[in-house]
Structure 1
Amino acid sequence: MDNDSYVSKDINMSLEDEGNITGQEKIEVIHSKILDEMIPKVGMEFKSEDEAYNFYNAYAYKVGFGIRRSKGHNDQSGKMKNRTFCCCCEGFREKDKRNINDKSHRAETRFGCLARMKINLDQTGKYRITDFIAQHTHVTSTPSKSHLHRSQRKLTFVQAAEIDIADSSGIAPKASLALMAKRVGGY
């Protein structure tokens, strides 16, 4: 996929006007377009790991990137002590083990991105943000394309029930998908 298609037009226009702009200045421009309470800050508290994940995922949706759960450690009782949520482009792909004569190799999806949010369990039983890096080493997607990231895709209970009904009725998956897309105005 071409990275130029991911560039946010309104952010890029303001960045082009600035000339040669640093990564930190790009982050400040993006954050100026988001509500302050939507931006993660060191010291914020959450009741659960899932609540922290949902908060960071909502932030990622506004900025235009997908997230994933990365490193995490449990205590002896099995409760999560700490967890790192990172950009889906964090790290690099392992060496390709396939035949070198393959005609079509998969596109590169990892760019060594630095963006992440780390939470730790404190003595009160709440999760607290201990580390937050907002800088990306790649271009983020436009707001109109944010819903396409894996972490942003959600299937509601009603949609799942409709899929089951269509399947049990003998309707082909392609036809049931076309019906659902028609109901909401597009794929």
Structure 2
Amino acid sequence: MKFDCDDSAYEFYKDYAHQIGFSVQKHSVKRGNVGQIIRRTFSCSKEGERVFDKRRENASYRHPISRTGCLAQMTCHLQKDGMLHVVSFHDQHNHKFAHSPMKHMLRSKRKISLAQKAIANDAERSGISIKQTIELLSMQAGGHENLGFMDVDYKNHVHNERRMALRKGDGPAMMEYFHKMQLNAAKNLHHVFHSFKQFAKDFSDCLYEYEDEDEWLVSWDCMLKEYGLTDNKWLRSIFDVKEKWAIVYGRHMFTTNMKSTQRSESINNVLKKYLKPKHDFVRFSGHYSRVLVDKRR
């Protein structure tokens, strides 16, 4: 038997191991002068034995023994035809195999597919809990045993994605978040922003600086006339729902600058659906944006 690359050989051995009921690992490798793989050995995951650790001699808890000195393995060697040929194959194990209902738990075959990762990332941005997302994926796959991964694998993926998002730090993430909020206005009013340096300040003042509604209305009207925007469709559309975004309409109450058309609904109940105390700023800002979008509909 021969393979065109190391990955193909590994996938074959993993598939074979999964059918039998054991997990595998990459055991050893020998490379050539330019880094090409000349010899590769894959082995049963129970190969070798646990090294005795004196520091844990009196430990109250000991991890179950996972290595039994199993000698089962497959070795491939690079031949003149450029293919990796199987030169050694040992199929004798010294341990029991996993039964069919438990085979999905074998580590070497557990993997979250690209499609599952896409769903996971969408669920994370939508505020769906890890448990609920796993249940959804499980239903789509026809059961947990068909998922291809375990709950811990999914949790590790989500936590890794969160760490990646935080590598830039909360400060830069905050600036990026507010920058995105301004893009919509910049897109619809780019010609004004480029033509008038003062417009950015005047527009910002209309959003945040006024305490009195009448004064705000006068200022808004003056800004439209000053910059020739009385017929701008986007400004007209947002003016029609000004009570939902203009700060002046919420000065008399504390709502974190969020407006709601459902006055009888508890703001705490709304926020609890999206926000949690353990959220870092990146996740908080993403979910808070969803709150604003939902309340402006």
TM-score (norm 1): 0.72
Deviation digits for residues 24-73 of structure 1 (CA, Å, limit 9, x no counterpart): xxxxxxxxxxxxxxxxxxxx111111111111111111111111101101
| CA deviation vs aligned residue, 1:55-98 (integer Å, no higher than 9, x gap) | 11111111111111011011110011111000010001122354
CA drift at 1:153: 1.0
Work out the CA distance in 1 between the residues paired with 2:143 and 2:55. Answer: 37
Equivalenced residue count is 144
Give the corresponding residue for 2:60. Answer: 103
| 2:113 pairs with 1:159 | no
On the 8 A contact 1:63/1:143 being kept in 2, the answer is: no
Superposition misfits of 4+ residues, deviation over 6 angstroms: none
Map 1:1-187 onto structure 2 (within 5 A).
44-96=1-53, 98-187=55-144
Between the two structures, name the one with larger relative contact order (CA 8 Å, sep ≥ 6).
1
CA contact (8 A) 1:89 1:113 kept: yes
Q: Deviations along 1:153-181, whole A, 9 cap, x unmatched? A: 12111101011111111222222112222
1:113/1:138 contact within 8 Å kept: yes
Q: Which moved more, 1:70-79 or 1:138-147?
A: 138-147
Quote the offset at 1:142 in angstroms. 1.6
Q: 1:108 corresponds to which letter in structure 2?
A: I
Identity in percent: 35
Measured at CA, do residues 55 and 99 of structure 1 come closer, stay the same or move farther in structure 2, by a change above 3 Å?
closer
The 1-side partners of 2:53 and 2:18 are apart by 31
| Structure with greater strand share of residues | 1
Rounded to whole Å, the distance in 2 between the matches of 1:149 and 1:76 is 35
Structure 2 runs not aligned, ≥5 long: 145-297
SS in 1 for 2:42: strand
CA distance in 2, matches of 1:166, 1:54: 30
Between structures 1 and 2, the one with greater helix share:
2
The worse-fitting range, judged by mean Cα deviation, of 55-64 and 168-177 is 168-177
Partner Cα distance (1:119, 1:153) in 2: 23
